[in-house]
Amino acid sequence: MAETSCFPNEAVHPMKVHVIYAHPQENSLNALLHRTVVEGLTEAGHEVDDLDLYADRFDPVLTREDRDIYHDVPANRAKVEQYIKRLESCDALVLCHPVWNFGWPAILKGYVDRVFLPDVSFKLRDGEMSPGLQNIRKLATVTTYGSKRWRAWFLGDAPRKNATRFLRVICHPRVKVSYHALYDMNNVTRAETEAYVARVRQAMLKF
pTM of the model: 0.91
CATH for the 16-205 domain, from 3.50.50.60, 3.40.50.2000, 3.40.50.360, 1.10.645.10: 3.40.50.360
Pairing verdict, β 47-52 and 138-144? unpaired
Domain ranges of the chain: 16-205
Whole-number pLDDT of residue 126: 80
Return mean pLDDT, the chain: 93
Predicted pLDDT at 6:
41
Query: Is pLDDT of 18 > 50?
Result: yes
Task: Using pLDDT thresholds of 50, 70 and 90, give the confidence band for residue 2.
Answer: very low
pLDDT > 70? residue 185? yes
Cα–Cα distance for residue pair 132/125, rounded to 1 Å: 12
Angle value at C-alpha 47, between 25 and 110, nearest 5 degrees: 45
Tell me the pLDDT tens digit for each residue of 117-173: 999 999 988 878 899 999 999 999 999 999 999 999 999 999 999 999 999 999 999
pLDDT digits (tens, 9 = 90+) for 90-118: 999 999 999 999 999 999 999 999 999 99
pLDDT at 127: 78
Q: How far apart are CA 93 and CA 48, in angstroms?
A: 10
pLDDT band at 192 (very low <50, low <70, confident <90, very high): very high
Q: What is the mean pLDDT of residues 192-203?
A: 98
pLDDT in tens, 54-65: 999 999 999 999
Q: What is the mean pLDDT of residues 9-21?
A: 81
pLDDT of residue 11: 52
The answer to whether residue 7 scores a pLDDT higher than 80 is no
Confidence (pLDDT) at 3: 47
CA distance 38 to 44: 10
Beta strands in the chain (DSSP E): 16-21, 47-52, 92-98, 122-125, 128-131, 138-144, 176-182
